[in-house]
Amino acid sequence: MRPPTLHVLFCLCSCLTLVHPFDWPVAHIIPSARISKIQALIAAAMYGQTKIPPGSGSYSVGCTDLMFKYTNKSTFLRLYYPSQDDERSDTIWIPNKEYFFGLSKFLGTHWVMGKILNLLFGSMTTPASWNSPLRTGEKYPLIVFSHGLGAFRTIYSAIGIDLASHGFIVATVEHRDGSASATYYFKDQSAAEIGKKTWLYLKTLKQGEEELPLRNEQVLQRAKECSQALNLILCVDCETKNVLDLEFDIRQLKDSIDRNKIAVIGHSFGGATVIQALNDDQRFRCGIALDAWMLPLAEEVLSNFSQPLFFINSERFQYPANIIKMKKCDSPGKERKMITIRGSVHQNFADFTFATGKVFGYMFTLKGAIDSNVAIDLTNKASLAFLQKHLALQKDFDQWDDLIEGKDEHLIPGTNIDTSNQHVALQNSTGTETRNLD
């Protein structure tokens, strides 16, 4: 079972066919009546739209993009960090129209869909100050974040910004393995200087191709990309250059990261990447898997790593085979936690839950029965409590320790999925006791 796609885009596509089929000639002049229908469609999509929430912590948050080297194997990431001020302009959420074209290709729709999406969301911002200077003078824990299938580096800003507002540096990797709906690189320095991007789009399964071998190959590369990003961030004084040539000075990162306090977080395919990265790189002290899609992982990896792992699941995405595979991560002496957010859906972890209006959001499962702000707040607070415990942070995030155990009216300890025909150890253990998750 693949993670559900951005269902709202299917709705937009379907509605658009009511306006006119997808065989518009390029030079066709759209009559005013048709323009009115498109405007009505946009109004319906955006009605009740909420903004991506600002960070709830005490730090101002800055944002920049970093790209290292000039090949399609180069590291590309969006960085959220505590900043000196918040007086600069907010960050453009999805900065290039090609990302919308990538989403339309991911969904198998006409290229016009990308234009519609760009019209809907191309000017949307997220509440972080673009290229604001890093707040120096202290060492921050570092989080490497891995996106889901068909996603990219920019659409988890609600999580990145909130964690940065509590004193973390968050590096959201844009994967080059063919799992991003779109990504780009520069072939050489001259291409970078003139802004000539080379775009890569989602790698799709060929007819008759089995999914597991491709996804396993991708998750291995994804984990390497997380480690590669970590290497470069920790060695910013090793002649590392941001080929994007932005105003942000990456040398600010030197002496601003606590090298003993590093974690990895990811959503969906990124959740599987968390587990692979924990297995492959001991520098990641703990991991948080948000609604993880477990299919890409080899069985031998599941019980092979020792770092603490926290599963935060939605109520509506998970299914028995996926939960059973999660439970195989448990073994004596290893801390594993699992909670489920009541009334939540798979997209409650990504920014699209805030970007679309209520009608489309509920009808096409970008929003769940739970309020999107409540869902992301629970996710972030539970994550902060877990990170404090396992990164030995001197903060007050332990006030949310009960959330790790699922002690909240909006939470289910463990899972809502029945796997009673399988005898497995409790995920919600510290490695010293076993119970039944169900």
Contact 275/309 with Cβ under 8 angstroms?
Answer: yes
For 196, the token pair is 């000539």
Helix (H) or strand (E) holding 262: strand 257-267
* Active site (annotated) includes residue 162: no
Q: Distance between CA 340 and CA 8 in Å, rounded? A: 23
* Active site (annotated) includes residue 147: no
* Active site (annotated) includes residue 291: yes
Computed from CA positions of residues 99, 104, 108, 110, in that sequence, does the dihedral angle turn out positive or negative?
negative
Contact 375/368 with Cβ under 8 angstroms?
Answer: yes
Q: Distance between CA 87 and CA 129 in Å, rounded? A: 7
Looking only at the bridges linking them, the beta strands covering 411-413 and 169-173 are unpaired
Biggest CA pair distance of the chain: 69
Q: Distance between CA 222 and CA 203 in Å, rounded? A: 14
Q: Distance between CA 155 and CA 367 in Å, rounded? A: 15
**Active-site residue, selected from the candidate residues 291, 330, 351, 408:** 291
For 233, the token pair is 């961030």
Contact 291/314 with Cβ under 8 angstroms?
Answer: yes
For 365, the token pair is 């499962």
Contact 82/62 with Cβ under 8 angstroms?
Answer: yes
Q: Distance between CA 392 and CA 29 in Å, rounded? A: 62
End-to-end alpha-carbon separation of the chain, Å? 22
**Active-site residue, selected from the candidate residues 110, 166, 175, 346:** 346
Contact 346/3 with Cβ under 8 angstroms?
Answer: yes
**Active-site residue, selected from the candidate residues 268, 344, 383, 429:** 268
Contact 429/355 with Cβ under 8 angstroms?
Answer: no
Q: Distance between CA 64 and CA 157 in Å, rounded? A: 12
For 400, the token pair is 């949310």
For 207, the token pair is 């007819």
Q: Which long-range contacts (CB under 8 A, 24 or more apart) does 428-432 make?
A: 428/336, 428/337, 428/338, 428/339, 429/330, 429/335, 429/336, 430/335, 431/331, 431/332, 431/333, 431/334, 431/335, 431/336, 432/332, 432/333
Q: Which residues are catalytic?
A: 268, 291, 346
